[in-house]
Amino acid sequence: MSSINIITDLPGPKSLELVARREAATSRGAAKLTQIAVTKAEGATVTDVDGNTLLDFAGGIGTLAVGHCPPSVVSALQNQAESLIHMCAIVGSYEPYIQVAELLNEITLGDHAKKSVLTNSGAEAVEAAVKIARAHTGRQGIIVFEGAYHGRTNMTMAMTSKYALFKKGFGPFAPEVYRLPFPNLYRRPPEMSEEGFVEYAIQQLENALIAQVDPSAVAAIVIEPVQGEGGFLPTPPRFMQKIRELCDQHGIVMIADEVQCGFARTGKLFAMEHYNIVPDLMTTGKSLAGGMPLAAVTGRAEIMDAPHPGGLGGTYSGNPLACVAAVEAITMMRQPEFLARAQAVGARFWEHLQHIQRQADNKLVGDIRGLGPMLVMELVKGRDTKQPAMEETARVTQETFKQGLITIRAGLYSNCVRFLPPLNITDDQIDEGMAIVADAVRTVSRER
């Protein structure tokens, strides 16, 4: 049975009306990727204000691993709202806040003693991780990579790549951030092997510690195990291993930013499990709390305890509602069956993507890649030139939307269609959505 039920053109008249009001009332700077206005959602579907039901392959940009409105999260929120909505963890303690920290300390990588701190957003978690690493090392330098996305606050904007969209006109940016090349295997020089290209990136990393900053001035290396906004680029294992070695050698804090790729998004609870490498600190967010605003830094207790008492915190950080939602979401996501389903979802998406790429008349799909169910297709003007097909990518997402499937873009060149569905999506829903993607790719191919 079809999950999508369309009764008006998309976007429908009421969506258009509401979006017009939004545009009149809010800054044009506030990002908005579609023209849909929604009223409710369940699992992998959303219903808009016109009564249309759409499939959602954006999942709140990877926030809804447990799906829209899972009953256990809803009922935990209802119960909590009746007893304590807010207190401020600076003012008083409450058990859900402590439970989330205990759970994070338990489920993240490594057997060592760990501690956590809770924040409102992923960007805030990354900023907190930077503060903690600086307090621990007494150093200031932060190494990040091309294509990275770490958030939109001043510090994380400095750490984020993709200037035109995220940074233009917003400087000056925080100092002491060093951006180094990231081994994007798809865009390596044609004459280089994958292995050779990774070795070259490692040489550049080593050289930067002579040419750009001395290791004794570096507090942290921050890496997304799978670059999210950068286009779902898994970090090559050898490169990750080199980062771990450099951090060990020079007393640098290794921070894995798992805000987008964490919590089953890659088929394992955390993406770093694919590498068998334990970072010193890990940032998490997005799916952590089933859609409620919550993020965290978790890591080695002695590093986490480096800031002075009172140095970290915020009015809403670790709000009780967000925390009870997180306890329920984590309880679901850590189950072996949930992770097995996430892997099966990834495998089914992958089959569809391979089929789309194989279509003989289709030169648009340059690359398909990712880890587990965190997958993209990168669109190019030609598979030989690999010239990013930015407008065509926008067209593909518009076409899927017209047919009732929400998809969004990613990538340094905005030329990837990324798939971040709720991980409790059904096989039928995957098939239904991917048939629409295939159709949209065919339509856009024909337009060229």
Footprint of ligand PLP (CB under 6 A):
61, 121-123, 126, 149-151, 224, 228-229, 257, 259-260, 285, 295
Centre a 10 Å sphere on the Cβ of residue 2 and count the other Cβ atoms it contains. Answer: 11
Query: 27 vs 11, 23, 24, 171, 298, CA distance in Å?
Result: 21, 7, 8, 19, 34
Asked if 263 and 406 count as a contact pair (C-beta separation under 8 A), the reply is: no
260 versus 400: smaller Cβ distance to ligand PLP: 260
Torsion region of 275: left, alpha or beta (phi above 0 gives left; psi -120 to 50 gives alpha): alpha
Torsion region of 193: left, alpha or beta (phi above 0 gives left; psi -120 to 50 gives alpha): beta
201 versus 222: smaller Cβ distance to ligand PLP: 222
Torsion region of 246: left, alpha or beta (phi above 0 gives left; psi -120 to 50 gives alpha): alpha
Tell me, what DSSP letter sits at residue 400? H
CA dihedral sign of residues 106, 108, 109, 114: negative
330 versus 444: smaller Cβ distance to ligand PLP: 330
Asked if 395 and 403 count as a contact pair (C-beta separation under 8 A), the reply is: no
Pairing between β-strand 416-419 and β-strand 408-410 as defined by DSSP bridges: antiparallel
Greatest Cα pair distance, the chain, in angstroms, is 64
Query: Considering the complex, what minimum distance in angstroms separates the CB of residue 148 from ligand PLP?
Result: 8
Residue nearest ligand PLP, Cβ-based: 122
Q: Which amino acid is at 28?
A: R
6 versus 61: smaller Cβ distance to ligand PLP: 61
Q: What are residue 327's phi and psi, to 5 degrees?
A: -60, -45
285 versus 421: smaller Cβ distance to ligand PLP: 285
- For 426, residues 6+ apart whose C-beta sits below 8 A from its C-beta are 3, 43, 44
Centre a 10 Å sphere on the Cβ of residue 216 and count the other Cβ atoms it contains. Answer: 12
Q: How many helices (H) and strands (E) are present in the chain, helices listed first?
A: 14, 17
* Integer Cα distance of 285 and 61 in angstroms: 11
* Integer Cα distance of 40 and 10 in angstroms: 17
